[in-house]
Structure 1
Amino acid sequence: MTAEETHGLDDEIAARGEAIAALLADSVRRPSVTGAERAVADFYADWMRAHGWDVELQPLSGTGFAASEEHVGDRANVIGYPFGRPQPGDRTIVFNGHLDVVPEGDHAAWTHPPFDGVRADGRVHGRGTVDMKGGIAAALVALEVLRERAEPLRHLPVVHLVIGEERTGVGTRLALSLAEPPAAAVVLEPTGNALVTACTGLQFFRVEASGVAAHSSAPWLGIDALARLLVLRETMLATAAARSAGFAHPRFAEVPTGIPFNIGLLEAGEYQASVPARARMTGRIGLKPGEDPEDARAAFADALAAAVRDDPHEREHPHRLEWLGAPYPGWETSESGELATAFVRGLELVDGAAELRGFTAGNDAGQYAALGVPTLVFGPGDTSLAHTANESVAEAELLRAARTITHALRVLP
């Protein structure tokens, strides 16, 4: 790519900075908490059609993925084809973004209302600006600029805007079931415009311990389910620590562990004056890049079984381990491959250098990588602001992401 070509393309993208920020702000004004994505799905579909894109809707209703989902009849993926639908022999590159956002929480904690899409101080504010409507806005406008220029790209771009990523990943599973795997995929999660070439995965779980209720004046007549659960908690923590100690990867060297373990919910008992007869904890285990999720699940299951082997109450009151939903696989993409090389070059053209890193947040990228698809995570926004009050993204960062995408696509072989 000559300097003149780079500057010409940059000038066109720079002229769309306002359009990117406005598109993001408008999308934030369509609240889309998981299960209620319809308004923003319609918004994006209308935007694509207005710009001459071919659009396909993929309803969740009537599919094999609907059984465990809510509000099935109102939910659909939006698939966009800026250069038309792929033909036999075309190599496609998917840009994946999720339509849903997490709940906004207490409105009083926000400086700006979470769904007003306020633009102030060079930033767009609101729920979903970081995770991940900002990445979607940058990619849509970048692809539209390339479409208008009729760029002769060697990979045909396809956009997957999917439902349900924040809970189950059902939207990406649906999209992949309805088409051949792409030649490459970029998931637009917030990375601060760093290039993620390796990602650890996760599997949600629930562990339940049972006991026997008794009046608190005679607790020795009962079996304390919480005490039994805390033994299981310590076992899982020790198992996770051992797995972390045995995992080393250069892209995760800056974090305490690349395979985080967390218990997010702990519940026990029904009344303050009773020995708890039931207790449970819910959380996540980490999965190494390329690790078979079944191997990780077995490591924790075996450790729990060993921990209660001598518990006299286990026979009549067995613990229960449940794996919740499908795993988010860990994955890794070659940094010398065509996709990573193209995005490194795109970042060099925009910023002078590329930052490569690992990612510990579960996301839909693993679903593409599990099919052997070269996959990256790349997008604007600070991950630490995702899911928080006062979530916001810098408009300048949106523009840098759009510039990077256009340059990367032009040099992708």
Structure 2
Amino acid sequence: MIPLDPAANPVGLVDLVDLTRALVDTPSESGDEAGLADAVESALRAHPHLGVVRVGNSVVARTDTGRAERVIIAGHLDTVPAAGNLPSRLDGERLYGLGACDMKGGVAVALRLAAGLAAPVRDVTYVFYECEEVAGDRNGLKRIAADRPDLLEADLAILMEPSDAGVEAGCQGVLNADITVRGERAHTARSWMGVNAAHRAAAALRRLDDHSAERIVIDGLEYREGLNAVAVRAGIADNVVPDTCVISVNLRFAPSRSPEQAEAYLRALFPEYEVEVTEVVPGALPGLGQGPVASLVEALGAVPRPKLGWTDVARFTALGTPALNYGPGDPTLAHTAGEYVPIGQLRECERRLAAWLGG
């Protein structure tokens, strides 16, 4: 049970660290969030100032005080598979455990805010969603946007992804593609009669190795791109010269590029090869000049950094809602066996957001 029920606790809240540990110790690998979603829904329904809606294994809770501005605070409930890092473990000022950093620490902060802010100066929509760590077609935010788009209408969205309790603005786009190198099949006993596609692929791999990632500055933030081979596949048998070799590549592109521009950029680098784009998702511009974003950044007293990676800020941006990343935990620890969240960052994020939302 997620201990936010006022009937079980006279003040309706438990300590933030205890709450984070309860979340970490409730398994919720992607696709298996139902138990945690049940607990979150039950805990939130205990607070009469919140209207609660369930969409699949995602839970949305909203205040409705008629304020002029509405803010979304969002966090995903799922984690990657465990790596011997359950149950949670408290070691000094660090809380270790699966998802502590990515992102049950942020979820705990959001749950505390939802329970504790009965009359915020800005109306708040809290979104706790499923399946962020897997293929995008399963993402809980995507389902909410399709089934109940009204629930995601807001002036600003705060995604509580780990950002070291600082602001990470925007995010990179992602493009995955297969580059096919052709040859001619032959028996390996007579290899001179064929053309080895795997050998020919060396030129394409060398081009990738020689490639210099571009650095693109937007709103004073430098987004460093990256282009990498992530898999190489060739051959059907030990005695056959392969006639095809497929190099799978991953391009992380600056949010100033559209998906179409990113594809054109990749194709221009490999004009003599077959390039098949298998997935492309746009990034999100930082939007630091937009009013709601600028207001929050100023209130947090943070120096914005670029988000080097993709997060659901892109999904909110596509819906027309300015968004940024702000949450406890070092993002470089996400998905590692030794991930942890600093206790100080948990408390700092809660304090700053409570002050901004509560006035």
TM, length-normalised to structure 2: 0.84
Unpaired runs of 5+ in structure 2?
Answer: 1-10
Post-superposition Cα deviations, 1:319-374, rounded to whole Å, max 9, x if no partner, equal 351322x50423221246233323432x34xxxxx221111111110111123312
Q: Does 1:161 align with 2:128?
A: yes
User: 225, 244, 248: which is aligned to 2:217?
Assistant: 248
CA distance in 2, matches of 1:186, 1:166: 18
Taking structure 1 as reference, are residues 47 and 200 closer, same or farther at Cα in structure 2, changes over 3 Å only? same
CA distance in 1, matches of 2:217, 2:43: 44
Q: Does 1:98 align with 2:76?
A: yes
Aligned-pair distance for 1:212?
Answer: 4.4
Q: Where does residue 229 of structure 2 map in the other structure?
A: 263
Taking structure 1 as reference, are residues 47 and 223 closer, same or farther at Cα in structure 2, changes over 3 Å only? farther
Q: Where does residue 114 of structure 2 map in the other structure?
A: 143
- Partner SS, residue 332 of structure 1: coil
User: In angstroms, what is the RMSD of aligned CA positions?
Assistant: 2.8
- Partner SS, residue 248 of structure 1: strand
Taking structure 1 as reference, are residues 216 and 378 closer, same or farther at Cα in structure 2, changes over 3 Å only? same
Post-superposition Cα deviations, 1:101-142, rounded to whole Å, max 9, x if no partner, equal 22234x3xxxxxx23122222222112111111111112212
More strand by share: 2
CA distance in 2, matches of 1:206, 1:33: 29
Q: Where does residue 322 of structure 1 map in the other structure?
A: 277
CA distance in 1, matches of 2:160, 2:99: 12
- Decide whether the 8 Å contact of 1:77 with 1:163 is kept in 2: yes
Q: Where does residue 201 of structure 1 map in the other structure?
A: 173
Aligned-pair distance for 1:175?
Answer: 2.0
Q: How does 1:200-349 map to 2 (within 5 A)?
A: 200-235=172-207, 241=212, 244=214, 247-249=216-218, 251-253=220-222, 258-272=224-238, 274-304=240-270, 306-308=271-273, 319-324=274-279, 326-335=280-289, 337-345=291-299, 347-348=300-301
- Partner SS, residue 110 of structure 2: helix
Paired residues, what number?
343
Percent identity between matched residues is 24
Aligned-pair distance for 1:378?
Answer: 0.4
- Decide whether the 8 Å contact of 1:224 with 1:276 is kept in 2: yes
Q: Does 1:400 align with 2:337?
A: no
CA distance in 1, matches of 2:12, 2:193: 71
Q: Where does residue 359 of structure 1 map in the other structure?
A: 307
CA distance in 1, matches of 2:194, 2:129: 49
TM, length-normalised to structure 1: 0.74
- Decide whether the 8 Å contact of 2:163 with 2:330 is kept in 1: yes
Taking structure 1 as reference, are residues 252 and 390 closer, same or farther at Cα in structure 2, changes over 3 Å only? same
Aligned-pair distance for 1:211?
Answer: 4.2
Q: Where does residue 42 of structure 2 map in the other structure?
A: 46
Unpaired runs of 5+ in structure 1?
Answer: 1-14, 60-75, 108-113, 309-318, 349-353
CA distance in 2, matches of 1:207, 1:103: 30
